[in-house]
Chains A and B, each alone.
Chain A
Amino acid sequence: MYAISDPWIPPTRGLLAGMPMPLLLVLGVLTATAGALAAAELVPLTPARAVGAGGAQGALLATAVTWARSGRRRRTTPLMAAILVFVGAVGATLSPFGVIAYLAAPVWLCLQRDRLPAFGLTRPPIGICAAGAALGALLGAHLLLTSSLTLGYGVRVPTTAHLISWLAYDAGANVLTTEAFFRGALLDRAQRRRPFAMSSALVTLLCLARYLVDPLLPHNLEVMAGAVFYLTLLSLANCWMYWRSGSIVPGIAAGVAFFACYRLLHVVS
């Protein structure tokens, strides 16, 4: 029993200690530059968005990888994580089949699983994974129902290419990086320093901020209100599932299911 037979060493490191600052600085500059150039209409919007999203999401994953390998084996580089996310984002803009490049990051993470024991890639109980997928689908269905019946948004039937593209983006970049950073890294660190309720509230706030500043989210009032409503519920549920299972997989299942429904709305670009 830890309390009796193990030495008690109070934690001394802060919540955000050990961030890969040089890499984050480079990715930040890259994202900001892409945004500025696109705003000044010096580069087309699509490649600028790809660079910006790749930089931002790469930063999230790189930080998660850095914290997960902290104090342990250091061969897994955060730079590689950032590059893979970036390659996925750029690849998707180059060719319709380029979206497959998004899957490089999750495949690489699976291969590195043994070297990232604190990453939250442990195999969760199948029940909680199913619950995650069901919750995401429930929220997504509620969103579709509310939006189509009460708000008047249309629901489109996706083509196979669209569906593959969405799933690859969400599983390989959007949801993966969000869950890896906000649940696998930030919540994991926060819950080892603060009570769960406080940690999940903090993580949910930051997660909301991440989506609300995302240029891909349509910035009108009802969409923003809906995003706050659904993403708050999704984030809190994912925090709870991470807390129960110690794995980000149920959160990924919930996120992928929810965003798949979300992208069926006609308003989403």
Chain B
Amino acid sequence: MSAARIRAALGPAAILLAITAGLAAANVGPATPWRHLYLVPVVLAGIRFGVAGGLVAALGAVLAFGPFVLREIEGHGPTWAAAEGIVTLVVLAVSGAAVGSLAARARRQRERYDTLRAVQRALADPAPLDRTAARLASVLTERLRVDVAGLVLDDGRVVVGADHVDPRSAAAYVVAHREPVFVIDAGTGSRARRVVVVPLTSTDGTVGALAVERLGDFSREERDALVGFGAALGLALDNARLAARQRRFAEELEQKVSQATARLGEMDRLKSDFVALASHELRTPLTALQGFSELLATRPFAPAEVRRLADIMRAEIERLGRIVSDFLDLARLERGLTPSIRRAVLDPVPLITAAVELFRRTRTSHRLELHVDGALPHVDADADALDRVLKNLIGNALKYSPPGSCVRVRARATEGVVAVDVEDEGPGIPPEERARIFEPYYRMRDTAALGHGTGLGLSVVKSLVEAHGGTVHAEAAPGTGTRMTVMLPALP
């Protein structure tokens, strides 16, 4: 007991002693009107210390006043004065308990508001539910003055106070039936352990259960208060959940906006790079055409030389045409349209062979191998589009692999598709970039030195293949290099 409480207890004790001394000195009987003075220390102690204080003060008053009553009974038998004295003893005992109880009730009411505030503070913490629940149980244990408080939340996934929920436990019953349970004895020790379990109710139903245990009584009033508290706690938990969901949503939104902003920034940079690259790509053949056309206009050449220059000019014009086609396809893609294709039933083998042969003739710095596994089924495809796809993939393989290395083209039929693999012995594509190489404008880092390009080729390939209902993907080739695989649906 603290010094302050001892000092507070000394007041009623002193009053009690003074009254007794006064009554003894006056030598009065049990019916003296001064006996009512005993109510003063009893009421004071009840207000200050609750039921226990009221009862102790009442006990003191009864012990002090009792001898006056007993002496009357011994001296004169059961007189009216003795009866009045007995009534006074009863009144003192009842007053101590009643005043103490009322004072304790008022104190508990105030504590309940404090508890609700403490609970709301605990729930305001944006921690995960299990940590918040543990903190909540700790707050409740302290505030409700119980030995232990436990919580069952989120359909038994979050449990505080035990490691699991027994399906036959009082808490499981409360969650299932949405009604409070009062267990008068847990039967687990030499002292009776009271248990109260109340549902945590919200607007949507029961969100869990609150269980409290105490080696001591729970009055009816306390149990009713706990039921109300369960409802308040359920709503508070519901609100906390909504707030947490909103916080999470806001965080996700912020993250998405941040990612989108970064992506837009990168797109902007890629487009700027693309404009520079495209200008360069367009200028190169134009410069060649301008130079050769001026030569042809100003100088006489042998017919064979004229043919050679014309072949070069035609190749540059084809290159210009491819670049312009890529731009047009890109423009369609950015408008959300698929490339225009004219489908027809065709045999893919001649197309593949022609593309390989073309590169074999023009790019003698590499070895080009073609493997066709058996007879391939026909496909429903646009021959021009398929030709662009193959030339793009083979051209890339040649461009990014060292001179003297081998580029292998393999065509095969598998599980209802025609697959064409183009495999090179170049430096390969890092795994984290494989998904991005099909994005428009995207060029791998450190590839500028390996060859010219707009960064549109593979995105056009992807859109063309997907327009045919097929897929294209990149993977690491055995050893070093890259394997690009195009899969097109085969006709039955």
CB distance from A239 to the nearest CB of B (A): 12
- Cβ contacts under 8 Å, B163 to chain A: 5
Interface residues on B, range: 35 or more
A247 near B173 (CB under 8 angstroms)? no
Is A150 within 8 A of B169, CB to CB? no
> A97 to chain B: which residues have CB within 8 Å?
none
- B149-190 vs A, CB cutoff 8 Å, 1 = contact: the mask equals 010100000010111111011110100000001011111111
With both chains docked as a complex, state the minimum distance between the C-beta of B449 and any C-beta of chain A, in angstroms: 68
Contact indicator B162/A4 (Cβ below 8 Å): yes
Chain B residues with Cβ under 8 A from A4's Cβ? 150, 152, 159, 161-162, 164-166, 169-171, 211
- Establish whether residues B184 and A1, one from each chain, have CB atoms under 8 Å apart when the complex forms: no
Instruction: Name the residue of chain A whose CB is nearest to the CB of B191.
Output: A246
- Chain A CB within 8 A of B197 CB: yes
Contacts of B74 in A (CB 8 A): 150-152, 221-222
Within 8 A of B (CB), among A134-160: 142, 145-146, 149-152
The segment from A45-53, A188-196, A210-218 that touches chain B is A188-196
| Interface residue? B11 (CB, 8 A) | no
Point out the residue from A3, A118, A188 that lies within 8 Å of B183, measured CB to CB. Answer: A3
**Chain A residue, CB-CB nearest to B64:** A142
Contact with B along A82-125 (1 / 0, CB 8 A): 00000000000000000000000000000000000110101000
A226 at the interface (CB under 8 A from B): yes
Instruction: Contacts A1-B162, A4-B166, A5-B165 given; indicate if A243 touches B191 (C-beta within 8 A).
Output: yes
- Flag if B169 contacts A5 (CB, 8 Å): yes
Nearest CB of B to A188, in Å: 8
CA distance A146 to B77 in the complex (A): 16
Chain A-chain B contacts (Cβ-Cβ < 8 Å), number: 123
Q: Is A22 an interface residue (CB 8 A)?
A: no
A146 in contact with B70 (CB, 8 Å):
yes
Q: Which residues of B contact A5 (CB under 8 A)?
A: 162-166, 169
Residues of chain A with a CB closer than 8 A to B168's CB: 7-8
With both chains docked as a complex, state the minimum distance between the C-beta of B260 and any C-beta of chain A, in angstroms.
46
Q: Chain B nearest CB: distance from A80 CB in Å? A: 23
- A residues 212-269 near B (Cβ < 8 Å) are 221-222, 225-226, 229, 233, 243-247
Among residues of A, the one whose C-beta sits closest to the C-beta of B195 is A3
Instruction: Report the nearest A residue to B78, measured CB to CB.
Output: A221
In the complex, A48→B47 CA distance in Å?
53
Q: Told that A5-B164, A5-B165 touch, could you supply 7 new A-B pairs with CB distance under 8 A? A: A1-B161, A3-B183, A3-B213, A8-B170, A8-B183, A152-B74, A246-B189
Knowing A3-B195, A3-B211, A4-B152, say if A193 contacts B171 (CB, 8 Å): no
The CA-CA distance from A195 to B216 in the complex, in Å, is 9
Contact A226 B192 (CB under 8 A): no
Task: Report whether B190 and A120 are in contact in the complex, using a CB–CB cutoff of 8 Å.
Answer: yes
Q: How far is the CB of A266 from chain B (nearest CB, A)?
A: 14
Residues of A within 8 Å of B187, CB to CB, are: 11, 192
A197 at the interface (CB under 8 A from B): yes
Name B residues whose Cβ lies closer than 8 Å to a Cβ of A.
59, 62-63, 66-68, 70-71, 73-74, 77-78, 148, 150, 152, 159, 161-166, 168-171, 173, 181, 183-193, 195, 197, 211-213, 216-217, 219
A165 and B77 alpha carbons, distance in the complex (Å): 34
Contacts of B166 in A (CB 8 A): 4-7
Residues of B within 8 A of A6 (CB): 166, 169, 186, 188
Closest to A190 in B: B192
**Chain B residue with minimal CB distance to A225?**
B73
Encode A1-24 as 1/0 by CB contact (under 8 A) with B.
111111110110000000000000
Could you say which residues of chain B place their CB within 8 Å of the CB of A192? 184-185, 187, 192
Q: Please, which residues of chain B bring their CB within 8 A of the CB of A246? A: 189-191
The reply to whether B188 and A2 contact each other, CB–CB distance below 8 Å, is yes
Whole-angstrom distance between the alpha carbons of A99 and B213 in the complex? 46
Q: Is A150 a contact partner of B71 (Cβ separation < 8 A)?
A: yes
* Chain A neighbourhood of B192, CB < 8 A: 188, 191-192, 196, 243
Q: Is the CB of A7 within 8 A of B169?
A: yes
A2-B195 contact in complex given A192-B187, A221-B77, C-beta closer than 8 Å: yes
Closest chain-B Cβ to A210's Cβ sits at a distance in Å of: 22
9 contacts between A and B (CB under 8 A): A2-B188, A4-B159, A4-B166, A5-B169, A142-B67, A151-B71, A191-B185, A244-B191, A246-B191
- Whose C-beta in chain B lies nearest to the C-beta of A220? B74
Cross-interface CB contact of A150 among B70, B186, B191, cutoff 8 Å: B70
Contact A195 B150 (CB under 8 A): no
Question: Which one of A3, A221, A226 lies within 8 Å of B197 (CB-CB)?
Answer: A3
* Complex CA distance for A2 and B172, rounded to whole angstroms: 12
